[in-house]
A = this chain, B = another copy of it.
Amino acid sequence: MKLKGQSVLSISQFERADIDNIFRVADDMEPYAQRQKRTRVLEGAILGNMFFEASTRTRISFGSAFNLLGGDVRETVGLELSALAKGESLHDTARVLSGFSDIICMRHPKSGSVAEFAKSSRVPLINGGDGSNEHPSQALLDLYTIEKELKASGRKIDGLRIAMVGDLKHGRTVHSLSKLLMLYKNISVQLVSPKDLSMPKDIVEEMKSNGLSVIESEKIESSISHVDIVYSTRIQEERFTNKDEADLYRGKFRLNQAVYTAHCEPNTVIMHPMPRDSRKEANELDKDLDDNPNLAIFRQTDNGLLVRMALFAMILDVVHLVKKSSSDVPWHNHR
């Protein structure tokens, strides 16, 4: 149980066996997340859910995961940056706040800040996103979703064919997922983006040198036709240096049911890091995919709960106690 007492700061700290361990614990969390059972294993434990930058979804996901294990949550949201605003160092904030909880989740706009905080913290930390740097639980939930979706058709992560579509330059999630995939075998990756927003060269090179088959392209149609997963992200047109080019690409990376039907193999799974922009001008996943059973975006966020429960249980070393402290759920379960 390598995670016992450890902080989770970056995906680069994991080996393949670690990830497998996390995913098997996540599997075991499903009955609790689905409310078939409840557990009070962390009753009395306190999570310091320190979101120095707003993120409703991720904050609530971490908090609920801790509640599902029986623990309490103390919380801060971005707008109340009082002490840090008064010139307090991350060292001081970490020393103080780590006296108030058993484990801390932290999001912060500044890259590297969570690792700096961890150095002075007296309790383990989970990085909930530090600027453009890392968001390891998101990368884990993405890979866990891929594993689960493939399992339904008897496949494994080894041998995965995936297309990543959209803004591959700025997307923290596709960077992290790419790095995680380097731990697996026979992976082929289609990178689909406008030139201006292509995957950073160093990541592409690292993937290739780790044995991944990588093809870069600017056309979505051919790139998504022989893959298991389409991982879509938003193209932010305001990021283009060349506005003419932006016009050229407008709508070309957008996935809707018509494009899906025309080009994808049956049961190709659609993923997205969320939130999905659902305004008319949005350039990512259309609403008409909502009835497509292969749209896995809400299974992704559900899986996030399982992965975060697994991280908490492993870091606080209570995995073996979860079952012992479980009981029936007395209230009406609506799922």
Contacts and interface: CB of A to CB of B under 8 A. Distances in A.
A87 B281 CA distance: 10
A259 interface: no
Interface in A61-81: 61, 63-64, 67-68, 70, 72-74, 76-81
A274 B82 contact: no
A91 interface: yes
Interface stretch (A8-16, A40-48, A131-139, A206-214): A40-48
Contacts of A70: 44
Contacts of A279: 87
Contacts of A101: 64
A211 B316 CA distance: 52
A287 B87 CA distance: 13
Interface string A294-335: 000110011001000000000111100100010001111111
Interface in A48-103: 48, 54-57, 59-61, 63-64, 67-68, 70, 72-74, 76-83, 86-89, 91-93, 95-97, 99-102
Contacts of A330: 41, 318, 321, 325
Contact of A61 (B78, B93, B100, B305): B100
A56 B44 contact: no
Contacts of A78: 80
Nearest to A316: B331
A277 interface: yes
A334 B124 contact: yes
A233 to B, nearest CB: 13
Contacts of A55: 82
A239 to B, nearest CB: 15
A334 B99 CA distance: 11
Interface string A1-40: 0001100000000000000000000000000000100111
B83 A275 contact: yes
A282 interface: yes
A42 to B, nearest CB: 6
Contacts of A41: 330-331
A123 interface: yes
B331 A88 contact: no
A42 B329 CA distance: 9
A92 B300 CA distance: 12
Given A56-B97, A99-B302, A317-B332, 20 more contacts: A5-B332, A40-B43, A41-B331, A42-B331, A56-B82, A64-B101, A83-B275, A87-B277, A87-B278, A87-B279, A89-B276, A92-B274, A92-B276, A95-B298, A99-B298, A99-B305, A100-B305, A102-B334, A123-B334, A318-B332
The 5 A-B pairs of least Cβ separation, nearest first, read A89-B278, A87-B277, A88-B275, A317-B332, A38-B44
7 contacts: A35-B102, A60-B76, A79-B79, A87-B278, A95-B298, A96-B301, A317-B331
